[in-house]
Structure 1
Amino acid sequence: MISHISATYIYPITGPVIKNGVLAIDSKGVIMDVYTEEEAKAKQISDINYHKGLLVPGFVNTHCHLELSNLKGQIPKGTGLPEFVKWVIKSRSSDEYELNLAMLKADIEMHQNGIVAVADISNQLISKSLKISSPVYYFTFLEIMGFNPALAKDAMERAKQFKAELDPLSVSIVPHAPYSVSAELFDELRAYEEFQDGPLSIHNQETEDENAFFEHKTGEFLELFKFLGQDIEFYQPSGKTSLQTYIPLLSPQLKTLLVHNTYTSAEDVAYATSIHPNLYWCLCPRANMYIENALPDVNMLRKADLKITLGTDSLASNDSLSILSEMNLLQERFDVPTDELLKWAIFNGAEFLEIEERYGSFERGKRPGINLVDFTERNGKVILGDNITRLF
C-alpha cells in the first residue's frame, strides 16, 4: 500500500528543496516517488498526511564510541584531551551488564534521534550482538594501537584475529590516532590494505598538544605516556604538524575519515588534500566543546570545499547522541546553511560508508529513513529547530 507524506519543505538532499512537496512511500518506508506540489495535484493525490516542518532522510553518524556509553556524566568538562584520556582509562568498568545496558540505551537514543547508520569505534567484542540485532546499520572501525615500533607486527596479528571474531559485521582495521600508532604499525596497516572491507578512520588534531608532540616533542602527551608507563625515549619529532607527519603513511586509495580536526590549519588541509584524494572530514563539535572547549575552523574547511560529515563521539564526551544537536551548534556558531548541514549529516556520511544505495537521499527505491524536523524562518533563511520526530 502506498501512502503520501507532505511537509512545509522536503529536502531530497541530491535535488533542490521542494516546498509543500509530497513523498510517496510503501509500508516499509521505501521511497516510491517524490512529487512537487503541482505534480501531486496533477496526479489527484488526495490521501496526503500534512506536517509542519522539514522532511529529511535519516542521519548518518560517522563517529561514535558505543563502548564508552556507560561513562555519561562521569568525566569533567574542559579537561583537554590528554587528561580526558586518563579519565577514560580510570573510569572504564568491567561490569558487562552495566555496559550492555548503557550501549542499548545509546542505540535506542540514536534511533529515536533519527540516526539510521553509525560508524562505531570498537576495541572489544561486547557490542557485536547489539549491532547485529539493531535497526540501526553499523559499520565497525576496529581500532589498532601501539606506539612502540617493536610491537607493530603483534598488534596487527591481534587485530586480524579480533576482526575475524566480529564476523558477520562490516569491519575495517583502523589506526586510533597518530600519537598512538607507530610508523611501523602504519606500515603494517598499509600492507593489509587489500584485505580491508571498507574505509578508514583516524582521530585527527583533536588537541593543540598533538601538534606540539609531533613538532617539538613537547606538551601534555609526554605526561600521558608517563601515566601509561610507556618509555618513548626512542621517539624523535618530525618537526611537522601531526597531519603532515602521518598522512603520507596512509593509502591514498582508501576512503579515509579524519575525525575532529579541531586544530587543523589551512596549510594542513592543502598538504593533506594534495597527496590524498579520498579524504572526508568529520566534525564532532559538541565533543570538542566538552573536552577542549574549542571548535574547528569550520568556515576554513567549508572554503576548502571538503567532504564534511558529522559525528556525535561518545556519551563520555557528549550529553546526548544527536546529529541534530551537532547541526544546531554549527548553525549557531558558524551560520552554516541548512541545506549544506543536511548534506554533511546525511549524504556525505552515506557516501563515505558506501551505503548510498539505500541511505543518504530521497530517491526512488531507497529506504533512507524519514525524519520530521521543526524549523523557523529568519531573514529568508530556514533555521533548524531542536525537535525531531522519526516517521520511518
Structure 2
Amino acid sequence: MKSFRADYVFPIFADPIKNGIVTVDDQGKIISVTDHNTPPDGPVEKLSGIICPGFVNTHCHVELSHLKDKITPKGGLVKFIKDIQATRKADDKEISDAIQKADEEMYTNGIVAVGDVSNSNASIPVKTASKLYYHTFIETFGFLPQNAQAIFDKAMELMQEFKPQSCSITPHAPYSVSKELFKLIRKHSDAEPNLISIHNQECEDENKFYRYKLGGFIELYEHFGIDISHFKPQARNSLQSIIPLLTNKQQVLLVHNTCTNLKDIYFIKRFDRKINWCFCPNANLYIENRLPKIPLFIDQGFNITLGTDSLASNDSLCILSEMRTIQKKFPAISTAKLLEWATINGASFLGIDDEKGTLEPGKTPGLNLITGLDGLKITPESKVRKLV
C-alpha cells in the first residue's frame, strides 16, 4: 500500500479535505480517503499541492498527432480544414510513432481515459497496448445524400476492426453530414449502444451556412468539388437544425461550442436529448482565436466535460492546460468546478464512472498531484504529476 498526504484532497464526490490522505494498493485501487486525524497504518508521503483523480479527456484525435506544428494557427476553421486535408497524409510509421508519443504524453499528464475520434485504423495497435482507457468514435463525413448508405457501411466495417475495444459510429459535424446520414446513425443508435460525439458550432460560418447558405463554407465545398445544390437554408443555427435528427437513446457530446448562444441552449431544452458539452479552449484559440461563452452553460442542467482536441490544433495534450486557459479567461469558475468537468463528468459520459472519476474506495481512478497553485487557483506555474 501507498499513502499520500497533500494540502488538499479533492475526492470530487465530496467536499475537499484539508491535509487529506489517500491510500491505494499496488494496483492503484483506492483503499481509503481520510483526514490527517485518522492516518492509515504505515508511512505517508507528504506532498505540497492538491490530489485529485486522473483526468478524462473526452475529445482527442490521436491519429492527427503527426501534424503537430504543421498547421498555421489562428487562420479560422475553414482554412484549418483545408490544411488538415492537404497535410494529413504521411508515412505509416510516422503516423504510428506520433500516436504512440501522444498516448505516452497523455499518460504522463495524468489522463486516464480518452474519447478519441478516428477516421482510420491507424490507432488500433497503440490503443490495444495502452495503459489508458479509450472509447473510439468512428467518424463519418458525407454531405451528399446519395452517398449516405455507402459511408455508413464503411464506418460499420471500420468499427468491426476496432472491436472488442469500446467504439461507436458518430457524425463529424452539421456542415459535413447529410440529413440522410444523420438518420442512418440515429437508426443504428436507437437499436444498440452507440455513444455520439459531434463537432458543434466551431465558427460563425457554420451558423451562417445553416441560416442563410452564406459564408466561408460555400467556398470550402467548392474547393473540395462538392455540389451543395440540394441544401436549403434552415433559417436557424446549425445546432437547432440538427437536434431533431439526433437519437434520444444515447448520450450525445457536443464539442467546441465556440459560437453556441443562449438561444441554442434554451432550444435544445425543448427536446428529450441526452446532451453533454465538451470544451477544448486551447484548440479554439489555436484555430479561431476565440473562446466559447462558457459561463452561459453553467447551471443549465447539462453535463460539462473537457477535451484537448488534437496536436494539429494544440501545443500539448494536457487537461490541466485546458483548465488553466478557462480559469484565466473566466476567473469566477473555481478549480473545484473545473476538476469535476475534468474527472467525474467525463467518466460519466464515457460510462466508466464505476471505476474512474472520483476518489472512492474500490475505484481505480488514478491519482494526480497538482502543484504551483495560488491558494486553490491554477497559475501559469501549475503542473500535474501522476502519482498512480
Question: 1:37: which partner in 2?
Answer: 36
1:169 aligns with 2:168: no
1:111 aligns with 2:124: no
Question: 2:55: which partner in 1?
Answer: 59
Q: Which amino acid aligns with 2:348?
A: E
Q: Is the 8 A contact 2:373 2:382 kept in 1?
A: no
Q: Which amino acid aligns with 1:282?
A: C
Q: In the aligned structure 2, how far is the partner of 1:72 from the partner of 1:281? A: 25
1:267 aligns with 2:263: yes
Shift of 1:278: 1.2
Q: In the aligned structure 1, how far is the partner of 2:191 from the partner of 2:318? A: 33
Question: 2:296: which partner in 1?
Answer: 300
Q: Which amino acid aligns with 2:120?
A: Q
Runs (4 or more) in structure 1 with deviation over 2 Å come to 194-198, 303-306, 375-378, 381-386
Q: Which whole-Å deviations, capped at 9, do the CAs of 1:206-234 have from their partners, x for residues lacking one? A: 01000000000000001110111111111
Shift of 1:166: 1.5
Question: 1:238: which partner in 2?
Answer: 234
Shift of 1:382: 3.7
Q: Is the 8 A contact 1:171 1:197 kept in 2?
A: no
Q: What SS class does the counterpart of residue 101 from structure 2 fall into? A: helix
Q: Which amino acid aligns with 2:187?
A: A
Question: 1:79: which partner in 2?
Answer: 75
Alignment of 1:192-231 (within 5 A): 192-231=188-227
Match of 1:149 among 145, 150, 165: 145
Root-mean-square deviation (Å) = 1.2
Q: How many residues align?
A: 386
Alignment of 1:179-190 (within 5 A): 179-190=175-186
CA distance 1:277–1:191, shift in 2 (3 Å): closer
Question: 1:88: which partner in 2?
Answer: 84
Q: Is the 8 A contact 2:137 2:196 kept in 1?
A: yes
Q: What SS class does the counterpart of residue 4 from structure 1 fall into? A: strand
Q: Is the 8 A contact 1:6 1:49 kept in 2?
A: yes
Q: Which whole-Å deviations, capped at 9, do the CAs of 1:116-172 have from their partners, x for residues lacking one? A: 000000000010011010001100000011111111111111111111121121111
Question: 1:371: which partner in 2?
Answer: 368
Scaled by the length of structure 1, the TM-score of the pair is 0.96
Q: Is the 8 A contact 1:198 1:353 kept in 2?
A: no
Shift of 1:305: 4.1
Q: In the aligned structure 1, how far is the partner of 2:15 from the partner of 2:296? A: 25
Question: 1:344: which partner in 2?
Answer: 341
Scaled by the length of structure 2, the TM-score of the pair is 0.97
CA distance 1:73–1:279, shift in 2 (3 Å): same
Unaligned runs of 5+ in 2: none
Q: Which moved more, 1:92-101 or 1:259-268?
A: 92-101
Question: 2:330: which partner in 1?
Answer: 334
1:360 aligns with 2:382: no
Match of 1:383 among 375, 378, 381: 378
Q: What SS class does the counterpart of residue 292 from structure 2 fall into? A: coil
Q: Is the 8 A contact 1:172 1:196 kept in 2?
A: no
CA distance 1:153–1:372, shift in 2 (3 Å): same
- Percent identity of the aligned residues? 44
Q: Which amino acid aligns with 2:9?
A: I
Shift of 1:78: 0.8
Unaligned runs of 5+ in 1: none
Question: 2:129: which partner in 1?
Answer: 133
Q: In the aligned structure 1, how far is the partner of 2:386 from the partner of 2:194? A: 28
Match of 1:191 among 169, 187, 198: 187
Q: What SS class does the counterpart of residue 118 from structure 1 fall into? A: strand
Q: Is the 8 A contact 2:169 2:195 kept in 1?
A: no
1:279 aligns with 2:275: yes
Q: In the aligned structure 1, how far is the partner of 2:312 from the partner of 2:143? A: 24
